[in-house]
Amino acid sequence: MKPQFLIAAPHSGAGKTTVTLALLRALRRSGRKVQPFKCGPDYLDPKHHTLAAGQTSVNLDQYMMQEQHLLELYHWYSSQADVSIIEGVMGLFDGARKMEGSSAALAALLDIPVILVVNAKAMAYSAAALLYGYKHFFPEIQIAGVIFNFVNTPSHYRILEEAAADVGIPALGYLPEQPEVKIPSRHLGLHISAETDYDKIIDAAADHLTAHIDLEQLLQQTLRPAVAATAPATTPSTQLRIAVAQDEAFNFTYRENINALSQLGPVTYFSPLTDTALPEADLLYLPGGYPELHLPQLAANRTLLEQLRQYKGHILAECGGMMYLGESIVDENGTAYPMVGLLPVQTSMQRKKLSLGYREIHIGDVVLRGHEFHYSQFTTPPDITQTDIRVLNARNEILTTPVFHTSSILASYMHFYWGDQLTGLKTILGLP
């Protein structure tokens, strides 16, 4: 038996990320090995998880991943830890279509309990009705406890505790509001930067949580049988050389994508910001990130830009990586910075508009899944999608999202997941 649970909330903004980070750090400080996971496609929350837990966080996504692959990932990484914690996404029942891919659906699939974080700042006994609804709406899950957030007095908490008791959900404690543990945000979500001492913030959050929450009660409430698991394969099937861009500008990568690429050969890393020479590579992977925050430095690295223009291998570029391969990127002030120029596109941070959602791309007979999440836009809509390429959203509606595909390049605004679809990726890229 091991503690395993998913942290959820009725809605975004209830504080589940901060509670997750505090729990990860508090359990780590207690001497336990704790494995973090993230429900959904988010890149940024797992970075915070990894920092808090000292273990790399793993995404679990029922839209992008095949079910068996997801189960194998969860059981393998959980088997290596004393405690497993999944941070949910949005509200507990919010999915791509109704509940599909939601935190609740994931908890049901994995048969693990839910700890609900409720923003009770402006709520008293009415919490009973909310908790009753969440307990009974989807009987396939168990809500093992509730943490009331933004509650500043013991008298307020006593009312909430009574509400939880009347519904039959254990109240695990309350957290007073504490601005010192707020994590700065950026336009794509909570952000990690070199300027902020996140270890200090997470330590403060852990101190705050342990002063008000009974961790041992929480762990007892979430005990579940451990499942035997086997390690994923690690022996390369070929010996391609793979180079991945990784720095402050490009860092939106899934752990399992990199693990899958390692099946093709050794993976090395380079920085488009600071390196003046490309590694010897058969495949370049340019993931998304924040190139728009580093445009002068990227444009000034002319040596690397020229090497990329002359590169003869295969390239996979996603979102920020695709922008970097274009002719230029325009910042919020209207200044255009020259980029690689391999793609006939220009992108801009002016007139920002959120593009968000799951995506399924069909190229010939190959299907890859991923998601789109960006504020930048093309300066003029490019016509670069071939007739044999279709892009669908989670409702199977056809989209006009441009995709650039040649015998050696695949580039678009989409972030792909290929941890269980490496063969399809190889086919699209023309890799041996």
Residue 234 lies in a domain: no
Which contacts qualify for 375-379: CB closer than 8 Å, 24 or more apart?
Answer: 375/187, 375/188, 375/349, 376/292, 376/323, 376/329, 376/347, 376/348, 376/349, 376/352, 377/347, 377/348, 377/351, 377/352, 377/353, 378/345, 378/346, 378/347, 378/348, 378/402, 379/330, 379/346, 379/347, 379/348
> Is the same domain home to 252 and 211?
no
Strands 314-318, 283-286: parallel, antiparallel or unpaired by DSSP?
parallel
Q: How far is CA 299 from CA 248, 295, 330, in A?
A: 15, 6, 12
Domain total in the chain: 2
Q: Judge contact between 241 and 283, C-beta under 8 A.
A: yes
Same domain, 207 and 86: yes
Residues 213 and 283 in one domain: no
Specify the pLDDT at position 132.
Answer: 98
213 and 346: one domain?
no
Domain boundary among 224, 257, 285: 224
Give me 193's structure tokens: 């930067």
Per residue in 186-235, pLDDT tens? 555 444 555 458 889 999 999 999 999 999 999 999 999 988 888 776 66
CATH code, domain with 424: 3.40.50.880
Q: Report if residue 422 sits inside a domain.
A: yes
Q: Of the candidates 224, 257, 272, which is a domain's last residue?
A: 224
Q: What is the reported pLDDT for 385? A: 64
Residue at 345 is within a domain: yes
Has residue 58 been placed in a domain?
A: yes
Q: Which residue among 90, 146, 319, 361 is the active-site one?
A: 319
Check whether residue 115 and residue 12 sit in a common domain: yes
d(CA 362, CA 163): 50
Query: Do 317 and 211 sit in the same domain of this protein?
Result: no
Same domain, 419 and 284: yes
- The CA–CA distances, whole Å, from 330 to 175, 274, 294, 355 equal 43, 21, 12, 18
Q: Residue 273 burial by CB count (10 A; 0-12/13-18/19+): exposed, middle or buried? A: middle
Strand partners, 377: 348
**Distance, CA of 37 to CA of 144 (rounded, Å):** 18
The pLDDT of residue 229 is 85
Output the tens digit of pLDDT for each of the chain's 432 residues.
Answer: 999 999 999 999 899 999 999 999 999 999 999 999 999 999 999 999 999 999 999 999 999 999 999 999 999 999 999 999 999 999 999 999 999 999 999 999 999 999 999 999 999 999 999 999 999 999 999 999 999 999 999 999 999 999 999 999 999 999 999 877 776 655 554 445 554 588 899 999 999 999 999 999 999 999 999 888 887 766 677 799 999 999 999 999 999 999 999 999 999 999 999 999 999 999 999 999 999 999 999 999 999 999 999 999 999 999 999 999 999 999 999 999 999 999 999 999 998 999 999 999 999 899 999 999 999 999 987 876 667 899 999 999 999 889 999 989 999 999 999 999 999 999 999 998
Mind giving me the DSSP string for 89-147?
A: -SSTT--SSTTTT-HHHHHHHHT--EEEEEE-TT-STTHHHHHHHHHHS-TTS-EEEEE
In terms of domains, do 220 and 264 share one?
Answer: no
- Tokens 């009725």 appear where? 10
The CATH code of the domain that includes 7 is: 3.40.50.300
The reported pLDDT for the residue numbered 190 is 46
Nearest to 43, CA basis, from 313, 310, 318, 306: 318
CA 414/CA 422 separation, integer angstroms:
16
In a domain, 275, yes or no: yes
> For residue range 80-125, what is the model confidence (pLDDT) as tens digits?
999 999 999 999 999 999 999 999 999 999 999 999 999 999 999 9
Are residue 126 and residue 262 in the same domain, yes or no?
no
* Residue 31 CB coordination number (10 Å): 7
Has residue 318 been placed in a domain? yes
Q: Are 6 and 138 part of one and the same domain? A: yes
Note the pLDDT of residue 351.
Answer: 87
Residue 137 forms part of a structural domain? yes
* In a shared domain, residues 142 and 188: yes
pTM beyond 0.85: yes
24 found inside a domain: yes
Domain coverage including residue 128: 2-224
319 included as an active-site residue: yes
Q: Of 194, 224, 254, which closes a domain?
A: 224
Domain co-membership, 215 together with 299:
no
